[in-house]
């Protein structure tokens, strides 16, 4: 392809995709569950599903199943163990807390430095390498850490919303990723920052995506829609409140139509691949675990906690990692029925794998241990925690500001992991539903392949069953992956069912 008069055209050298997807619009409905796609009266979403392929067994396939690692995994096609973003915060090998929840850290380039140092390719880097002059834009509402993870070091523009000192909710850019002058200052992109009705933040994000496309004509638009996760998921409980789900989804459908109008006016809608997905699941909480008890158990091992995270699992980074086994055993000895299993890092083995220290009484099947081990392997490495306690389905640890949350994610439970995934556009099968396991790391390789870009250096596989003309080796690679992952998904689903019925 070449840029001619500002429009992307196919070159005579055949560099373009055989499948013909020249543009990519990837939309992360943050923390959405697959049920959200079933909301009625969504003609634009429905059309994408009807003309595309949906994965009914799509799952995050990473730990922690949280927003920063989820988006970094989507962008890099690699696991947190490789790209290095394992959560909002963690303890590094120097026993320092790295905190990407701090917006100044994002604006100072801390996340992008970690991704750069990891040496992983991203959607942005591979698109730029293949197509000189192409543009990549990543954006979110209030989630700077999602926009920055989606775009990564090589995105042209990385945009998000924030509240100003004088009470406005306005878009801004991560430094070194500014859009052309005027994009951020359009009056229709700002609202007063109080009592903003549900759906407005998502709408402004989509509006910002349309404005950037009208100005930049970018090949790749990576969008995070934050309200699906907060407030809809955590505060309202996601599927617990289908009225709010319907409000947000129908609002999104309307905005999707506006975005598609912009692509139609530019004459490129039929050359655009749309990907709809979530970055993790959202699990209604039925039981809660007191973080004070977990902390006390860990501290009894005799080493300070560098930092910790609490969600549908609990992770600890310790000053002295060699105490991980003792700390994990102390948690296991609490015999809390909501704690499914406790793991400690094994420092003596290359790759820092995890060893289960708890008994097997709460693991209904040995396949669950293998599923947990698969997920644990995805963040095992220098930034991985020393101790991991995974909880039963419906259980969470929700201290402080999380105490009122009705739903959460982060751990190994099926509802924390299960997510919607739809590919729709040129080169993709139409009206298809695949039961093949599909992970976040497989999204970028599949989308890039459809754009004529070989996804060198990514850990995920091309989902060959999505494509009308997959590369010759892709079906075999996907089958190899499925052989490994079908039992993982089945074990997670069966365990979820058993634990939910035991807790009922």
Which single residue is written with the structure tokens 């809608």? 269
With binding defined as CB under 5 A, does residue 279 bind Zn ion? yes
Give min distance, CB of 70 to Zn ion, in A. 6
From CA 408, how far away is CA 66, in angstroms rounded? 10
Residue number with the smallest Cβ distance to Zn ion: 67
User: How many CB atoms are located within 10 Å of the residue 269 CB?
Assistant: 17
Residue closer to Zn ion, measured from CB, 67 or 244: 67
CA–CA separation, 306 and 123 (whole Å): 33
Q: Concatenated DSSP letters for 226-249?
A: GGGIIIIITTT-GGG-HHHHHHHH
Give the footprint of Zn ion on residues 221-240 (CB under 5 A): 229
Nearer to Zn ion, 150 or 331 (CB): 150
> Can you tell me the distance from the alpha carbon of 477 to that of 491, in angstroms, rounded to the nearest whole number?
22
- Our finding on whether 211 is near Zn ion (CB under 5 A) is no
Q: How far is the CB of 369 from Zn ion (least distance, A)?
A: 27
Which residue in the set 1, 16, 25, 30 belongs to the binding site for Zn ion (CB under 5 A)? 30
- Rounded to the nearest angstrom, the gap between the alpha carbon of residue 160 and the centroid of all alpha carbons in its chain is 17
> Is residue 67 close enough to count as binding Zn ion by CB under 5 A?
yes
What is the smallest separation between the CB atom of 333 and Zn ion, expressed in angstroms?
33
Task: Give the nearer residue to Zn ion in terms of CB position, either 31 or 437.
Answer: 31
Least distance in Å: CB of 229 to Zn ion?
Answer: 5
What tokens appear for 232 in the block?
């809809």
Q: Tokens 């991980």, residue?
A: 324
As measured in angstroms, the least distance from the Cβ of 496 to Zn ion is 20
Using CB under 5 A, which of the segments 73-81, 275-283, 286-294, 457-465 binds Zn ion?
Answer: 275-283
24-32, 148-156, 267-275, 367-375 -> range binding Zn ion (CB under 5 A): 24-32
Binding map of Zn ion across residues 399-418, x = CB under 5 A, - = no contact = --------------------
415 C-beta neighbours (distance < 10 Å), count = 25
The smaller minimum CB distance to Zn ion, of residues 410 and 470, is found at 410
Query: Which residues are bridge partners to 391 per DSSP?
Result: 339
Q: Per-residue x/- marks for Zn ion, 234-273, CB under 5 A?
A: ----------------------------------------
| Closest residue by Cα to residue 73 from 467, 458, 479 | 458
For 111, the 3-state DSSP assignment is helix
CB atoms under 10 Å from CB of 257, counted, come to 15
Considering beta carbons, is residue 67 or 73 the nearer one to Zn ion? 67
Write down the residue that tokens 């993790």 correspond to.
Answer: 280
Q: How far is the CB of 122 from Zn ion (least distance, A)?
A: 18
Instruction: Determine the Cα–Cα distance for residues 375 and 437; give it in Å rounded to an integer.
Output: 14
As a whole number of angstroms, the distance between CA 151 and CA 141 comes to 14
Select from 29-37, 285-293, 315-323, 470-478 the region that touches Zn ion (CB under 5 A): 29-37
Task: Report how many residues bind Zn ion under the rule CB under 5 A.
Answer: 5
Q: Which is nearer to Zn ion, 31 or 121 (CB)?
A: 31
- Angle at Cα 45 formed by Cα 43 and Cα 50, nearest 5°? 90
Question: Shortest approach of Zn ion to residue 345 CB, angstroms?
Answer: 25
What is the spatial distance between Cα 431 and Cα 468, in angstroms, rounded to a whole number? 12
- Could you list the residues that contact Zn ion (CB under 5 A)? 30-31, 67, 229, 279
């Amino acid at each position: 392809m070449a840029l001619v008069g500002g429009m992307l055209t196919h070159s005579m050298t055949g560099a373009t995709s055989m499948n013909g997807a020249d543009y990519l619009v990837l939309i992360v409905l943050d923390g959405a569950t697959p049920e959200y796609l079933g909301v009625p009266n969504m003609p634009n979403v429905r059309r994408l599903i009807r003309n595309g392929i949906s994965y009914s067994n799509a799952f995050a396939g990473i730990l922690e199943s949280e927003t920063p690692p989820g988006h970094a995994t989507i962008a890099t096609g690699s696991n947190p163990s490789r790209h290095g973003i394992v959560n909002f915060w963690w303890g590094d090998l120097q026993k320092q807390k790295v905190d990407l929840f701090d917006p100044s850290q994002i604006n100072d380039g801390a996340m992008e430095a970690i991704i750069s140092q990891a040496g992983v390719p991203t959607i942005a880097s591979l698109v730029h390498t293949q197509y000189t002059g192409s543009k990549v834009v990543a954006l979110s509402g209030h989630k700077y850490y999602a926009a920055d993870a989606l775009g990564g070091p090589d995105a042209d523009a990385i945009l998000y919303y924030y509240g100003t000192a004088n009470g406005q909710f306005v878009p801004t850019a991560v430094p070194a990723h500014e859009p052309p002058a005027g994009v951020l200052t359009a009056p229709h992109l700002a609202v007063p920052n109080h009592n903003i009705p549900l759906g407005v933040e998502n709408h402004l994000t989509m509006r910002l995506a349309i404005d950037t496309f009208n100005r930049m004509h970018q090949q790749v638009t990576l969008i995070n829609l934050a309200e699906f996760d907060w407030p809809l998921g955590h505060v309202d409980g996601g599927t617990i409140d289908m009225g709010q789900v319907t409000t947000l989804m129908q609002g999104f459908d309307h905005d999707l139509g506006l975005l598609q109008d912009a692509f139609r006016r530019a004459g490129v809608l039929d050359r655009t691949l749309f990907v709809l997905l979530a970055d993790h699941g959202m699990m209604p909480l039925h039981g809660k675990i007191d973080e004070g008890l977990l902390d006390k158990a860990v501290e009894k091992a005799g080493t300070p906690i560098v930092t910790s995270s609490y969600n549908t699992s609990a992770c600890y980074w310790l000053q002295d990692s060699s105490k991980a086994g003792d700390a994990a055993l102390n948690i296991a000895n609490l015999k809390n029925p909501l704690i499914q299993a406790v793991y400690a890092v094994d420092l003596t083995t290359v790759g820092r794998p995890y060893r289960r220290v708890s008994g097997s009484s709460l693991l209904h099947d040995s396949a669950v241990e293998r599923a947990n081990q698969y997920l644990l392997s995805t963040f095992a490495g220098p930034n991985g925690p020393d101790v991991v306690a995974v909880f039963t389905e419906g259980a969470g640890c929700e201290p402080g500001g999380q105490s009122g949350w009705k739903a959460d994610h982060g751990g190994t439970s099926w509802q924390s992991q299960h997510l919607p995934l739809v590919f729709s556009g040129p080169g993709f099968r139409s009206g298809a539903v695949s039961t093949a396991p599909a992970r976040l790391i497989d999204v970028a390789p599949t989308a890039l392949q459809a754009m004529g870009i070989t996804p060198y250096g990514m850990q995920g596989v091309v989902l060959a069953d999505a494509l009308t003309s997959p590369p010759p080796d892709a079906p075999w690679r996907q089958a190899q992956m499925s052989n490994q992952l079908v039992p993982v998904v089945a074990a997670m689903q069966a365990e979820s069912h058993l634990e939910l019925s035991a807790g009922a």
